Amino acid sequence: MFDFSNVTIWFDALLRQTLGLGDFWSILIECILVGVLILAGYAILAICLIFMERKVCAYFQCRLGPMRVGPWGIFQVFADVLKMLIKEIFTVDKADKLLYFVAPFLVIIASVGTFSFLPWNNGAEVLNFNVGVFLLTAVSSIGVVGIFLAGWASNNKYSVVSAMRGAVQLISYEMSLGLCLITAVILTGTMQVSGIVEAQVGPWNWLIFKGHVPAIIAFLVFLVAGNAEANRGPFDLAEAESELTAGYHTEYSGMGFGFYYLAEYLNLFVVSGIATTVFLGGWAPVNIGIEGFDGIMNLIPGIVWFLGKTFAVVWLLMWVRWTFPRLRIDQILKLEWKYLMPLCLINLVLMTIIVAFGWHF
């Protein structure tokens, strides 16, 4: 398997030895470079996801989707982005201007922060802490504050009510997400993202196979809760323009709205990426125990596996989104507190028993 740390070690040696820079400057340059790469990847993936969403949605509804701008409509998203960038940014009268401008940044910080935890390849994790998964949930919880402040700072009662609704939904579903991740952590015995992936390399070692029943339950609950956490699918109350006057970002225009839009799509990718990392093996290739087959599969680089699996999960979530009708807020909360969370707790106990007795594969 291709180890990306070769490249990073080579680059580090280039800065330190060939160019003779000190500790401070080489670390600074590396940090800036990694930051730029993360943001570039974020933007490129956002464009891919928006285009994919429009096309998938169109085909589910027996339409063609955007076809006019460029061949097969592939420049449509660039046109949208351009429109978003040149729109006028205006504020509401008597609104709290400072909070109005801070709120989208909190949301985007939470989104980029969780995005940087994803393991792209063998040796290509950006944030790889010992407390990995826990820190990831911690960073993602910052977004709730951003959503709430957006509603408050808009000086619009519909926005405030909608922000309350959104915040309650996010806080509730964080519970299930956390419990599902803990279930996986029990099986792997580590919270570090790279450790979780390394535990899944090898034939039939993906957690979803290794942990059989509880892992499959955790994976399914994770997908449902992740869909709610990304404000999508049947849980997209904030997007209900006709019924609920859109939501907490009604009063935003231009890039303020653009940030919420970006964060929504990237949260979809991040949720799928985490589901892939934790349950479907991250960059680990498909291995079935036959040497020739495994050898060929191992030749395919890890990033292809990671992106392939993640986009498969993204496609699954889009399928759900365009199939199920929207839920009401009381139904959303009922689903979480009365069904998903108790299921997760029981599942946690089940997984602990299975790991304690060694009944996993």
Q: Which residues bind other proteins (CB under 8 A)?
A: 23-24, 27-28, 96, 98-99, 102, 129-131, 134-135, 137-139, 141-142, 144-145, 148-149, 152-153, 160, 164, 167, 171, 174, 190-192
User: Closest approach of Cβ 152 to other proteins, in Å?
Assistant: 6
Comparison of 185 and 317: residue with beta carbon closer to other proteins: 185
Residues near 155 by Cβ (< 8 Å), separated by ≥ 6? Answer: 92, 93, 94, 95, 96, 251
Q: How far is CA 99 from the centre of its chain?
A: 25
User: Closest approach of Cβ 191 to other proteins, in Å?
Assistant: 5
Cβ pair 229, 140 in contact under 8 A: yes
Comparison of 106 and 318: residue with beta carbon closer to other proteins: 106
d(CA 84, CA 183): 41
User: Closest approach of Cβ 194 to other proteins, in Å?
Assistant: 13
Comparison of 73 and 104: residue with beta carbon closer to other proteins: 104
Residues near 290 by Cβ (< 8 Å), separated by ≥ 6? Answer: none
Helix (H, G, I), strand (E, B) or coil at 125: strand
Comparison of 148 and 311: residue with beta carbon closer to other proteins: 148
What Å distances lie between residue 60 and 74, 170, 283, 291, 321, CA to CA? 18, 27, 30, 40, 10
Please report which residue ranges of the chain form alpha helices under DSSP H. Answer: 5-13, 23-60, 76-86, 97-115, 132-140, 142-153, 157-188, 193-198, 207-210, 212-229, 241-244, 254-279, 291-299, 302-321, 329-334, 341-357
User: Closest approach of Cβ 130 to other proteins, in Å?
Assistant: 5
Comparison of 98 and 299: residue with beta carbon closer to other proteins: 98
User: Closest approach of Cβ 129 to other proteins, in Å?
Assistant: 5
Comparison of 44 and 98: residue with beta carbon closer to other proteins: 98
User: Closest approach of Cβ 61 to other proteins, in Å?
Assistant: 37
